[in-house]
Amino acid sequence: KAGVTQTPRYLIKTRGQQVTLSCSPISGHRSVSWYQQTPGQGLQFLFEYFSETQRNKGNFPGRFSGRQFSNSRSEMNVSTLELGDSALYLCASSWLAESLGELFFGEGSRLTVL
Amino acid sequence: AQTVTQSQPEMSVQEAETVTLSCTYDTSENNYYLFWYKQPPSRQMILVIRQEAYKQQNATENRFSVNFQKAAKSFSLKISDSQLGDTAMYFCAFMGNAGNMLTFGGGTRLMVKP
């Protein structure tokens, strides 16, 4: 059974550009959530989608957005990139609406903003 | 809002010995879940152990056990018979009743020495 797949794994952008990250959950999983991991701020929740609906959103500016498709694949977009957006972006999936913490994480997309 | 605090940024332990990682949290919710996640170097985050707040009995998973003190809002992880493969970042995390949204502590970097 394939795990959570995130693409691209590594990318470099410059300030002001935008970026789209993709997450393919484990087959059958309907919940996808996104986290930003940085050395300074640690792991912070971005947003969660379940059956194409955003259920929760973290405390991030509107430059951060996401969506989920009917096949449960999810994308997140960051517009007008800033240096502080450099981070490891983790995606996690679960097949339950209430997973009780049983989230399956991908390896992440490491974004560097120059 | 809830907060999770891990006061030990780094720890080390000799192989085969026991180590305890500390975690405290703050919440106004009565029903919630607490977790320890492990993030090995350059590998996916995986769930180590889960504790339901309504259960008084401490959770155990093989060499991993927790000491859950609800009144003190403390949730420590004990690793017995430490193995080299236990070397990783360990994150304490909280989940309330708002879907699959985790609040993480800052992490403890554990090194197991041969």
The answer to whether A54 contacts chain B (CB < 8 Å) is no
Give burial (CB, 10 Å; 0-12/13-18/19+) of B80. middle
More confident residue, A62 or A102: A62
Whether B46 has a pLDDT exceeding 80, the answer reads: yes
Nearest CA to A99 out of B112, B44, B95, B46 is that of B95
Q: Which residues of B touch A107 (CB under 8 A)?
A: 42-44
CB contact under 8 A, A50 and B100: yes
Task: Give the pLDDT score at A109.
Answer: 97
- A25 at B interface, C-beta within 8 A: no
User: What value does the mean pLDDT take over residues B24-40?
Assistant: 93
Q: Output the pLDDT for position B51.
A: 94
For residue A106, give how far its alpha carbon lies from the nearest alpha carbon of chain B (Å): 6
B residues 71-110 lying closer than 8 A (beta carbon) to A: 91, 93, 95, 98-107
